[in-house]
Amino acid sequence: MKLAEALLLRSEYQQKSENLRNRILQNLKTQEGEPPHEDPNLLLLEFEEISSQLTRLIKQIHRTNALALLPDGRTLGDALIDRDDLLKSRQLLSTIVENANEADYRLTRTEIKMTVTVSIADFQKKIDQLSKAFRQLDTQIQGINWTVELAE
């Protein structure tokens, strides 16, 4: 199985696990004399099986991320951390630009005027650089995901 397929399966298991959790909680109580729509004990057994499969799969994904290498020599795990760092930095700079661009509403000329203390153009340029670096790294990661086999 390719790593990308395992990532899709992980997502499926996570969704199924959450769905089972909700179904268990919905069937814990009924009106007196009424049976539950589904047996919570059977649902719990199914949840435990899915949870066990999910745990095994996540361990395999982590092993694969530690072993797979990008062309620049970084492990896939390190590249994922770098990608997350690029995303966080880009999000912070975008928030700064959004806040700096907010209109300054004054009702009269005597009210305090607010001024921007940063260069929005410089921040926007940095956002563009981070976006490009993110896209390039993400493309490499996605390529590796579809070529590398899942570790046992």
> Can you read off the two tokens belonging to residue 52?
């066990």
- Quote the crossing angle between the two packed helices 40-67 and 76-101, to the nearest 10°: 100
- The reported pTM is 0.81
pLDDT in the model for residue 101: 85
Collapsing DSSP states into helix, strand and coil, what is residue 149? strand
Our CA dihedral for 97, 100, 102, 107, rounded to 10 degrees, sits at -170
> For the chain, what are the domain ranges?
1-67, 71-152
Instruction: Label residue 130 exposed, middle or buried (CB < 10 Å: 0-12, 13-18, 19+).
Output: buried
Task: Extract the residue ranges of the chain whose pLDDT is less than 70.
Answer: 105-107
pLDDT in the model for residue 105: 66
